Structure 1
Amino acid sequence: MSQVASFIGAHPAPASIPSDEARHLPSTAAFQPIVRLNNVHKSFGSNHVLKGVSFEVTKGEMIAIIGASGSGKSTALRCINHLEVIDDGAIEVCGMQVGDPAIDIRRLRRDVGIVFQSYNLFPHLSVEENITLALRHVKQLGKQEARTIASEVLAKVGLSEKGQAYPEQLSGGQQQRVAIARSLAMSPKVMLFDEVTSALDPQLTGEVLRVMEDLAAGGMTMLLVTHEMAFAKRVADRIIFMHQGKVWEIGDGTMLDHPQTQELRAFLDNGL
């Protein structure tokens, strides 16, 4: 039995609930996966990067994906947002089949925000202009409405005073927080973070992680590729350990203290 199958199979079926009590429970729709990967494969030439990756994410979950470089973590995120096209398997996100040739890419990108290690801010635009650009040209919002949203999301990331600054005037941590604000402005249902702190020093890393922790506390559905083990253990609802293109082990934060596989134990012992 695979690691994933054994993890899923370890949970007993819930007991039946009397009908008069069932009315007071949340709808089961709230627990339906908002992201689902089923046996996903992806190769780049002869390099088979994803080798049958399967996992699900329910609305409001914060999932941390860990693993050594080359294990397929970032590729999995890029496939979820259709930045890479899968070779086999299926990905469903927010009710959309990502592999469908007829998929509405604009809708997918509105529903699924992604933030990268590199900030990808336009250097010739102010912080406010970086945030309002997509609002005005993709969502077709008026200038004032877009500026109001920019002000709101900058407040969320603690940069209310930086709207008229330019990227070169900001620290790396501030630029990354602007990148997060830009994604938040589109009101995504899911946010993907691809090693967003790996280029930052410890102090700036702390700034960005605090913003992400606030988003998780607010119920944002998030998938985070990270090497920040302490953060993953403290904040993530579940942690996915990937190894050699496969989901190797899944669990809550305690799995980092009690790894079930030799591969995860070696990864943690190496301090990666």
Structure 2
Amino acid sequence: MSDSYMNSDDPIVMLRDVRKSFGSHLVLAGVDMEAHRGEVTAIIGRSGSGKSTALRCIDRLEVVDSGQISVCGRRVDDPNVDLKALRLDVGIVFQSYNLFPHLTIEENIMLAPRAAKGVDKAQARELAQSVLAKVGLSEKAKAYPEQLSGGQQQRVAIARSLAMQPKVMLFDEVTSALDPQLTGEVLKVIEELAAAGMTMVMVTHEMAFARRVADKVVFMHSGRVWEHGDASILTDPQTPELQQFVHSDL
């Protein structure tokens, strides 16, 4: 289903009137959003605007209360969706790296392809070498997570997702725990992925990066998509809320 679907012009990720509450707190109040193949979509907004929740709903880490979500032709809001198949298509990287401390970097990356795809050990090791080269960490294959800086660990987390050969990558504030220098090295990897045509949806507070790399910028406010467009909306915002947000970032 996914491969023939991926050749079409349909959005790879589509949210329609998505609503989500935690208890009595409405977090998503009717979100509409879409991302097309090869696009980088940056989701921006103040803390509590619903950005990360929207991202987590795409991978069904959160179950929506109502509305539709489709990813790579699968209805994510369907209770019977094949979660294993969905997560083979969608990679997600969080601000915490979640690497296994007792495994080497190479072993951390080999784990999912072997467990989820049945890839043999030699092939998994080859795959690990290939994705570590993409994130500039070939020489760290035999190291353990504690021997790496935060920026290097985050790059390993990206490599681990890439090893599953996803069709879409989701990034949730992946640089928020890093200092500026380490942030730069992680963003460089993401920029290279964008240049290679990877479809990405990223929640970010890095405005300069969003201006430079994003094909589409989605500004969320009060649980809704308040304004969206190409990166020019950051230099010419149409709503007072985005004007204020952009101004406060400068």
Please say whether Structure 1 and Structure 2 have the same fold, judged by a TM-score greater than 0.5: yes
Give 1:29 deviation, angstroms.
4.8
Is 1:253 matched up with 2:231? Answer: yes
Q: Name the structure 2 match of 1:206.
A: 184
Q: Which residue number corresponds to residue 188 of structure 1? A: 166
Partner of 2:29: 51
> What are the superposed Cα offsets for residues 222-256 of structure 1, whole Å, 9 maximum, x if unpaired?
00100000000000001000000000000111111
2:248 matched residue in structure 1: 270
Amino acid at match of 1:205: T
What is the CA-CA distance between 1:39 and the residue it aligns to? 0.2
Is residue 2:7 matched to residue 1:36? no
Q: Following superposition of structure 1 onto structure 2, how do residues 1-272 of structure 1 map, counting pairs within 5 Å?
A: 29-271=7-249
* Unaligned stretches of 5+ residues in structure 1: 1-27
Corresponding residue SS for 2:154: helix
Query: SS at 2:30's partner residue?
Result: strand
**Secondary structure of the structure 2 residue equivalent to 1:254:** helix
Unaligned runs of 5+ in 2: 1-5
Letter in 2 for 1:60: G
Q: Secondary structure at the match of 1:119?
A: coil
Amino acid at match of 2:139: E
**TM-score between the two structures when normalised by the length of structure 1:** 0.89
With the length of structure 2 as denominator, give the TM-score of the two structures: 0.96
The whole-number CA distance in structure 2 between the counterparts of 1:241 and 1:183 is: 26
Kindly state the Cα deviation for residue 31 of structure 1 after the two structures are TM-superposed: 2.4
Query: Would you say how many aligned residue pairs link Structure 1 and Structure 2?
Result: 245
The question of whether the paired residues in 2 share the 8 Å contact of 1:126 and 1:164 is answered with yes
Q: State the SS of the aligned residue for 2:117.
A: coil
User: RMSD over aligned Cα, in angstroms?
Assistant: 1.1
